[in-house]
Amino acid sequence: MLTGPDFFEDNLMIEIQRPTLDDSEELLAFELENRAYFEKWINARDENYYSLSSVKHAIAEARSDAHADKAYQFLIKRDGIIVGRVNLSGVTRPYFNKASLGYRIGERFGGNGYASDAVDLILKTACADLGLWRIEATVRPENQASSHVLTRNGFVKYGTARRSMQLHGVWYDLMHFECHLEPRGHTLSA
């Protein structure tokens, strides 16, 4: 099991924190506020997710996953307010030491560089605290903003999967990106 601190900050506009039960009400409000916006890009969560007890359960599950070195979830905060989420899931060890990156920024917070800053912080955390060597991400070609966030942070596109995601009855392609890490949070060239 690898664990790092619960709070990460750099000389950036935001900070990332592992969620705690104290975040439950604010996280539920964030998810409800952005539900329709997020569902334009990802499949809808189950209706039961949108309750305080379900959010508390999800937070407890996220902390358990981190303890078991399966996945790591973080809240992105600016001045103590949740502006987004960033996570590393599908942690694969021992030979690959890799994970998949996911992130989302609330609709009213978009365009402020928070996603780029959060990805920068999560890459530093992945390398320095979690001992990961490779981070992968997928993006729909229509989501150019996310593609730019990844390339700004050292990710390189390595392929496109055709008709690999169905959303609202429509098939979409997914572009695959990778980032190789080395100690001290610097990326290796592809």
Per-residue pLDDT of the chain (190 residues; tens, 9 = 90+): 333 445 444 556 899 999 999 999 999 999 999 999 998 888 788 888 899 999 999 999 999 999 999 999 999 999 999 999 999 999 999 999 999 999 999 999 999 999 999 999 999 999 999 999 999 999 999 999 999 999 999 999 999 999 999 988 999 999 999 999 986 444 454 4
Report, in angstroms and rounded to the nearest whole number, the Rg of the chain calculated over CA atoms.
16
Domain 7-185 has CATH 3.40.630.30: yes
State the CB neighbour count (10 A cutoff) for residue 182. 10
Residue ranges per domain, the chain? 7-185
State the CB neighbour count (10 A cutoff) for residue 137. 23
**E-only strand ranges, the chain:** 7-9, 15-17, 72-78, 81-92, 98-105, 134-139, 156-167, 170-180
Model pTM greater than 0.85? yes
